[in-house]
Amino acid sequence: MNNPISKALEPLGRLIAVVSGYVLLGLAFAMSVEIVGRKLFAFSFQGIDDIGGYVLAIIAVAGAGCGVIAKTHVRIDIFLVRLPKGLQRFLNMLAMIAMAGFACFSTWRGARVLEESVEFGSRAVNPLQTPLWIPQAIWLLGLGFFSAVSCAYAVHAVKLFFSGSNALNDFYGPVSVNKDLEEELQALEERREEGMEL
């Protein structure tokens, strides 16, 4: 049973994940050139360390939204799976509301940080003298994505809870080892079939 929210958001999440991967690859290449340049040629890109910090901060928050879509955030289910199904439903809904609350709070605080940087004309204390509003604005977009995704899931979870649907535990409960294995085997089979078609 597929979550309709996930079905709608997966293409965007996949796109963000792929773009983030290429950006990290570019950063790794630039860092490698920086290391070789410093050691062998007394040459350095000015500010590559700072750019790396910006990139990692942005990818971390965008990745948090992708993690919600892919259900890869860590959840401890030692006790949850032993509780009655009704209580599991309530706790799974509560987990999604808490995630959305945390994401929205983080976005609100991020907006305040950006606002202060713009107000004071803050610049990075490095050779690039980067106006801080530039990386912070992109970072805030990542936080906004995380919030939007989390809120969509929280609203859906609340709707399922009050409609009495048993799908809530399937959609928003922690992934069991057996279910995770089944999904991986199914994805492997789909990739194998796609390979045969080519």
Average pLDDT over the chain reads 89
User: Where exactly are the structural domains of the chain?
Assistant: 4-197
- Structure-derived torsion over alpha carbons of residues 115, 121, 124, 128, reported in degrees to the nearest 10: 130
- What DSSP element (H or E) covers 180? helix 177-197
Least confident span in 11-15, 23-27, 161-165, 173-177: 173-177
For residue 125, the tally of other CB atoms under 10 A from its CB is 10
**Quick one: which of 14, 3, 2 has its CA closest to 155?**
3
Taking residues 4-23, report their average pLDDT: 93
Do 107 and 143 touch, CB atoms closer than 8 A?
yes
| pLDDT tier, 159 (very low <50, low <70, confident <90, very high otherwise) | very high
pLDDT digits (tens, 9 = 90+) for 65-117: 999 998 888 877 778 778 888 898 999 999 999 999 999 999 999 999 999 99
Q: What is the model's pLDDT at position 46? A: 77
| The three-state (H, E, C) secondary structure of 46-59, written as one string | CCHHHHHHHHHHHH
Q: What is the CA radius of gyration of the chain?
A: 21
DSSP code at position 43: -
What is the distance between the terminal CA atoms of the chain, rounded to a whole angstrom?
28
Burial category of 147 from C-beta neighbours within 10 Å (exposed 0-12, middle 13-18, buried 19 and up): buried
Q: What is the model's pLDDT at position 45? A: 75
**Quick one: which of 149, 161, 183 has its CA closest to 73?**
149
pTM of the model: 0.84
Q: Which amino acid is at 117?
A: S
Taking residues 26-49, report their average pLDDT: 86
Q: What is the model's pLDDT at position 197? A: 63
